[in-house]
């Protein structure tokens, strides 16, 4: 499930020394899809409805979109996301945009696929707060208008299941991708798509060593089989002021999932696509601006102090990773019928 | 600001005795708009963005749409709506659909117009929880991408103001109307648009006396000048089991606004448009089903005990008030830039 981070880091670090030969990749126009859950329009339609529906949370107020807001950068611009009853967890919501290009999900990679991921927040007490997945499914069943959509997407033999709901949400998310950023157009040959500063930033991004980890079309590492995560130790260099200032030794990352010492402080390398839209930064949302995030990353991951000019250019380049967002129609959600969220 | 409820009730009650002559009205295809805030596409576009933007709430998690969900019946299917930090107030969110046809806003009519209403929840500590409207405006100003939309909607001389934001939201809301329900098509001449049961229910709705208050195109009373509310005492008849069961003497309604004895238990007559979608019912959301709501209303407002057949027909008729919802594109919201909701 996990590539040896240190080894892979060395290998890719060697590769980045051949700066000019770096393999800059454009984002595909279509996300990969698993053989057992091909993306169909019927699943996408149902998944879009479920994604925006707050009624599968305990209070009826929290949907997937509450923390992964598709009207924004696919997150909530908060340090720690806020779930039912105003509860907060300990991590910042990652963007849902282009999550289809990640080989594991969550900051600690505890879900292998989008299908697995979709089930997590529903039963997390500080997110959607349902007792269990069956209780969430009962909510879906209690909204009669959902049934025809499940039938269309999955056939008519008991289609309303937790797995099918997760499949539909995952299929929808695979359509939430943002190709054709200025960077993509540049890579495809439009040499005016990036400004001079952005092009300098692109070169610096590689030469400084950012591409050691933030490689590939989604800037989240090499393409790996689904379920095999690409993790890095964060912070790698802890002997600097940033570590205390931004509380970077509090959350032990993947260690919380595996309890293995080797996994201490390992986090999934996140995509940098649309990074200009998703402040605050890092798993703990401790840094508010992209400038500061770039400085901190250079220091704690590469032990480098960037010049102001380098930071400016790299930030300009990162702004060029903001893609084109698909037009999204607001779903009409089927009516609640004969039940409410009343506690009385 | 307020029609004498008792007098008007008598006048309309007399009118309803001429059952056949009752003036059934279809919903117009366009909502009325005030002379000082004509509805323009530019305002509607900006208003739609502000309506869905959670960043003008203290926590960055609550937008207008959180409680007045346009993907649903324009409300949240909760008894008491839930605002920042999971706080709840004491009333159920009224639907935003067709609110343009109401002459006052809020259950107690404390806002004269949609423009006035839009400012309320922003600074309500149990809704969006901002300190004051200036603080909310600071949030808007801190999102640079909003400025061009304000300029297009209101000109370029200091367009980002609280009043302009409210005007934009109100203009958007005036486009959120649902004409062409089965009832509307029936009234316009399509005699097959309502079933036999629905037609019986329509007649019963009038004969029983519901139209005494729920009159007009929006089923919320006579057309009055903006700011002049149409209120009724609820409960009118308190000597029945429902009053205790559904806690109907707790909230004194408009009295809380005016402190006048005459306003005790006065509530705005709400629209019945799309009522099948907006459970739970009443200002306190105490009733989960439309059947029960119809029974309770007949008893506590008209002192009548309906038969099961009457309830069934009236509920069928009320289901015929569900209109056609406009297709709504998801807005893209401009990025948060250099600030977050971090408390640290």
CA–CA min distance B289, chain A (Å): 5
* A122-146: pLDDT as tens digits: 999 999 999 999 999 999 999 999 9
Chain A residues close to B341, C-beta within 8 Å: 77-79
Burial class (CB in 10 A: 0-12, 13-18, 19+), A57: buried
Cβ neighbours of residue B175 closer than 8 Å, sequence gap 6 or more? B31, B39, B44, B326
Task: Tell me if residue A109 falls in helix, strand or coil.
Answer: coil
CA–CA min distance B78, chain A (Å): 5
* ipTM (interface pTM): 0.92
pTM to 2 decimals? 0.93
Cβ neighbours of residue A62 closer than 8 Å, sequence gap 6 or more? A54, A83, A84, A127, A128, A129
Burial class (CB in 10 A: 0-12, 13-18, 19+), B33: middle
**Same CATH fold assignment for domains A5-29+183-319 and A41-173:** yes
Q: What one-character DSSP code corresponds to residue B54?
A: G
CA dist., res. B117 & res. B132, Å (int):
15
Q: Is the pLDDT of residue A240 over 60?
A: yes
Q: Kindly state whether B55 is in contact with chain A, defined as any CB-CB distance less than 8 angstroms.
A: yes
Interface mutation target, options A77, A246, A325, chain B, most CBs of B under 10 Å: A77
Pair A38, A241: CB distance under 8 Å: no
Q: Domain-by-domain residue ranges, chain A?
A: 5-29+183-319, 41-173
Q: Is the pLDDT of residue B3 over 80?
A: no
Short-list B233, B208, B184, B182, CA closest to B311: B208
Mean pLDDT over B307-328 rounds to: 98
Q: Mind telling me the catalytic residues of B? A: 127
What is the reported pLDDT for A1?
46
CA–CA min distance A2, chain B (Å): 32
Interface mutation target, options B57, B74, B86, B290, chain A, most CBs of A under 10 Å: B86
What is the reported pLDDT for B2?
52
What is the reported pLDDT for B178?
98
Burial class (CB in 10 A: 0-12, 13-18, 19+), B36: exposed
Q: Kindly state whether A54 is in contact with chain B, defined as any CB-CB distance less than 8 angstroms.
A: yes
Pair A264, A312: CB distance under 8 Å: no
> What CATH number should be reported for the domain whose range is A5-29+183-319?
1.10.760.10
CA dist., res. B327 & res. A332, Å (int):
9
* B15-72: pLDDT as tens digits: 444 445 799 999 999 999 999 999 999 999 999 999 999 999 999 999 999 999 999 9
Cβ neighbours of residue B7 closer than 8 Å, sequence gap 6 or more? none
Task: Tell me if residue B2 falls in helix, strand or coil.
Answer: strand
Task: Tell me if residue B84 falls in helix, strand or coil.
Answer: helix
Distance of CA B117 to the CA centre of its chain: 11
Chain B residues close to A342, C-beta within 8 Å: 78-79, 280, 285-286, 288
Q: Kindly state whether A312 is in contact with chain B, defined as any CB-CB distance less than 8 angstroms.
A: no
Pair B97, B173: CB distance under 8 Å: no
* CATH architecture for residues B5-29+179-319: Orthogonal Bundle (1.10)
Q: Kindly state whether A90 is in contact with chain B, defined as any CB-CB distance less than 8 angstroms.
A: no
What is the reported pLDDT for A2?
52
> What CATH number should be reported for the domain whose range is A41-173?
1.10.760.10
Residue A33 annotated among the catalytic residues of the structure: no
Q: Kindly state whether B34 is in contact with chain A, defined as any CB-CB distance less than 8 angstroms.
A: no
């Amino acid at each position: 499930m996990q590539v040896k981070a240190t080894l892979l880091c060395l290998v890719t670090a060697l590769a980045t020394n051949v700066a000019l030969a770096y393999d800059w990749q454009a984002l595909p126009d279509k996300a990969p899809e698993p053989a057992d859950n091909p993306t169909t329009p019927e699943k996408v339609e149902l998944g879009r409805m479920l994604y925006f529906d707050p009624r599968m949370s305990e209070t009826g107020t929290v949907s997937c979109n509450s923390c992964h807001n598709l009207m924004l950068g696919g997150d909530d611009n908060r340090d720690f996301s806020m779930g039912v009853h105003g509860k907060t967890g300990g991590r910042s919501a990652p963007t849902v945009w282009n999550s289809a290009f990640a080989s594991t999900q969550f900051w600690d990679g505890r879900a292998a696929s989008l299908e697995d991921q979709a089930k997590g927040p529903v039963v997390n007490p500080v997110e959607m707060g349902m007792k269990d997945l069956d209780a969430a499914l009962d909510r879906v069943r209690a909204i009669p208008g959902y049934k025809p959509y499940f039938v269309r997407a999955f056939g008519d033999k008991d289609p309303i299941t937790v797995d099918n709901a997760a499949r539909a949400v995952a299929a929808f998310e695979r359509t939430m991708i943002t190709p054709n950023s200025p960077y993509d157009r540049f890579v495809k040959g439009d040499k005016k798509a990036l400004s001079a500063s952005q092009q300098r930033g692109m070169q610096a991004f590689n030469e400084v060593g950012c591409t050691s980890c933030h490689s590939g079309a989604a800037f989240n590492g090499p393409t790996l089989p689904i379920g095999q995560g690409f993790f890095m130790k964060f912070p790698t260099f802890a002997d600097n002021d940033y570590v205390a200032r931004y509380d970077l030794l509090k959350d032990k990352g993947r260690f919380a999932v595996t309890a293995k010492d080797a996994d201490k402080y390992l986090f999934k390398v996140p995509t940098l696509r649309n990074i200009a839209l998703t402040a605050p930064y890092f798993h703990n949302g401790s840094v508010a601006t992209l400038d500061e995030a770039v400085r901190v990353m250079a220091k704690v991951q590469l032990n480098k102090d960037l010049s102001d000019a380098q930071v400016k250019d790299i930030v300009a380049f990162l702004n060029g990773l903001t893609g084109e967002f698909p037009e999204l129609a607001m779903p009409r959600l089927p009516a609640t019928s004969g039940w409410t969220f009343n506690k009385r």
